[in-house]
Amino acid sequence: MQSAERPGAAGPEDAAPGVPAARDAAGPPPGDPDAAGTPRDPAPAGRPAESPERPDTAPDGGTDPPPSPDGVTDAPADGTAQDPGRAPSGAALLRAALWPPRATRSQLVVAALLFALGLGLAIQVRAAGSDDTALRGARPEDLVRILSDLDDRTARLDDEKRQLEAQRTELETSSDQAEEARRQNEERERRLGVLAGTVAAEGPGVTLRIGDPLGVVGADMLLDAVQELRAAGAEAIQINEVRIVAETAFTDRNGGVRLDDEPVSAPYVVRAIGRPQDLEPALNIPGGVVQSLENDSASVRVDRPERVTVDALRPTELPDYAQSSP
Amino acid sequence: MIAVVGLVLGVLAGVLTTPVVPTGVEPYLPIAVVAALDAVFGGLRAMLDRVFDDRVFVVSFLSNVTVAALIVFLGDELGVGSQLSTGVVVVLGIRIFSNAAAIRRHVFGA
């Protein structure tokens, strides 16, 4: 720029070193054809800014090779290579282009185009950033692929759901079955407990009271009574405070009676749970328990109360070695 | 300067007004934007080379955008749209890089 005004001041005599200063639309300085010819000045315009390392590829925007016949472009003047220091640097050029603003036609046109570019850029960035609009710009084949992916995924999830539902149904029914089995087990345990004498029992039945003022009643007579009751369907029996079960031992010892090594004494009260209509006749049959006891001058009374309670218990004995096997 | 103001105004307008792009044009917008970027970088380089001409710039800008969109459209019609758009983006990216290298040489001298 500092040399821009030199063509005016440059007379034909000092034009030789000032040739690179020819700039802008100046073209060759008029009136000095001989001086211009000295440094082999190119015909259209000497461009001092042409840097020697300028690549040969076409600068875009021009999209045309450097030796274009276009009036603006030109071939790099080899005469300018002798004075590159005079040329403004690219940074200075940029600064000059930015400030001060010049409202020329080219600036306005470029501004309009850049406005369109910025608009498209912002729209595209926003569209690429959001997910729901990502599908809108997709190609049909991509959409088809996405759709089939989704279909596959849906089918997979449906399969999984079906499996899980089947599993749930299975678990529910099996837990129902387990509950039922548990209930039956408890029921059986209660029944067996009544039979084994480990739980108390209550129900209809009879009581047999044997008074023995003379001490004639022995273990055999009690055993007869118990067996008669059992034969008649008694389910739980107790004599005084001793529960009578299958392995109860009846022994005579020192004139007294022992049940399971437990001394019992008169009056003997036999409580039996069972069907009273069966139990009472079984005791009272001719020649039966009651008659033979009375023959031995023991006093016998049979009652049929509303409820008979058998609450004497035997300890639960768990086997030490044997374990249940299915 | 006015050109830079135009770019900033365009970005602001795009962000603030959130215009809706027609669905038919939407696949070509990114390619067109990349092509326009290429044209802008080329114009910047031409300016630093002092061969800038607004007429050439306008023509190259519009033709870049149009040709890029046309190529992608053609690829879509032929069933190779995604591959072709990738190729266009690669080519334009290479051009942008070379232009940016030239600009860098001008501005930083290295």
Q: Which of A47, A63, A137 sits opposite B56 (nearest CB)?
A: A63
| C-beta atoms of B58 and A113 within 8 A | yes
| C-beta atoms of B27 and A107 within 8 A | no
Q: What is the 3-state secondary structure (H, E, C) of chain A?
A: CCCCCHHHHCCCCCCCCCHHHCCCCCCCCCCCHHHHHCCCCCCCCCCCCCCCCCCCCCCCCCCCCCCCCCCCCCCCCHHHHHCHHHCCCHHHHHHHHHCCCCCCHHHHHHHHHHHHHHHHHHHHHHHHHCCCCCCCCCCHHHHHHHHHHHHHHHHHHHHHHHHHHHHHHHHHHHHHHHHHHHHHHHHHHHHHHHHHCCCCEEECEEEEEEECCCCCCCHHHHHHHHHHHHHCCCCEEEECCEEECCCCCEEEECCEEEECCEEECCCEEEEEECCHHHHHHHHHCCCCHHHHHHHCCCEEEEECCCCEEECCCCCCCCCCCCCCCC
Q: What parts of chain A have a pLDDT lower than 50?
A: 1-86
| C-beta atoms of B47 and A61 within 8 A | yes
Residue A130's pLDDT is: 65
Best mutation site among A104, A109, A123 for testing chain B: the one with the most B CBs within 10 Å?
A123
Q: Which of A59, A111, A127 sits opposite B5 (nearest CB)?
A: A111
Residue A80's pLDDT is: 37
Between B50 and A326, name the one with better pLDDT: B50
Mean pLDDT, range B25-50, rounded to an integer: 86
Is residue A272 in some structural domain?
yes
Distance, CA of A83 to CA of A17 (rounded, Å): 10
What lies within 8 Å, CB to CB, of A73 at 6+ separation is A62, A64, A66, A67, B51, B53
Domain containing A254 equals: 198-310
What CATH number does the domain containing A299 carry? Answer: 3.30.70.1880
| C-beta atoms of B18 and A126 within 8 A | yes
Residue A151's pLDDT is: 96
At B56, is the pLDDT very low, low, confident or very high (cuts 50, 70, 90)?
confident
Residue A134's pLDDT is: 61
Is residue A248 in some structural domain?
yes
Q: Which residues of B touch A94 (CB under 8 A)?
A: 48, 107
Is residue A17 in some structural domain?
yes
A123 and A156 both lie in a single domain: no
Distance, CA of A244 to CA of A246 (rounded, Å): 7
Which DSSP category does B22 fall into? P
Model ipTM? Answer: 0.82
Q: Which helix (H) or strand (E) holds B53?
A: none
A118 and A207 both lie in a single domain: no
Is residue A142 in some structural domain?
no
Residue A8's pLDDT is: 38
A221 and A178 both lie in a single domain: no
pLDDT tens, residue by residue, A258-272 = 888 888 887 889 999
Residue A37's pLDDT is: 38
A14 and A116 both lie in a single domain: no
User: Which residue carries 């001989």 as its tokens?
Assistant: A34
A251 and A208 both lie in a single domain: yes
Q: Which of B3, B14, B79 sits opposite A121 (nearest CB)?
A: B14
At B96, is the pLDDT very low, low, confident or very high (cuts 50, 70, 90)?
very high
Q: Which residues of B touch A100 (CB under 8 A)?
A: 1
Among candidate residues A137, A159, A183, the one where a domain is terminated: A137
> Between β-strands A308-310 and A256-259, what pairing exists: parallel, antiparallel or unpaired?
unpaired
| C-beta atoms of B106 and A66 within 8 A | no
Q: How far is CA A159 from CA A18, A147, A155, A156, A169, in A?
A: 88, 18, 6, 5, 15
Is residue A279 in some structural domain?
yes
A1 and A58 both lie in a single domain: yes
A22 and A96 both lie in a single domain: yes
Is residue A315 in some structural domain?
no
A100's tokens: 């001060």
A76 and A126 both lie in a single domain: no
Residue A185's pLDDT is: 92
Å between B70 CA and nearest CA of chain A:
15
Q: Domains in chain A: how many in total?
A: 4
Is residue A317 in some structural domain?
no
Measured from the Cβ of residue A236, the count of other Cβ atoms closer than 10 Å reads 26
Is residue A58 in some structural domain?
yes
B2 within 8 A of A101, measured Cβ to Cβ? yes
Residue A166, CB half-sphere, CA atoms under 13 Å: how many? 6
| C-beta atoms of A102 and B2 within 8 A | yes
| C-beta atoms of B109 and A57 within 8 A | no
| B39: closest chain A residue by CA | A61
Residue B43's pLDDT is: 87
A279 and A242 both lie in a single domain: yes
Q: Which residues of B touch A138 (CB under 8 A)?
A: 27
A306 and A263 both lie in a single domain: yes
Q: Which of A60, A99, A123 sits opposite B39 (nearest CB)?
A: A60
Among candidate residues A137, A161, A184, the one where a domain is terminated: A137
A45 and A131 both lie in a single domain: no
A222 and A285 both lie in a single domain: yes
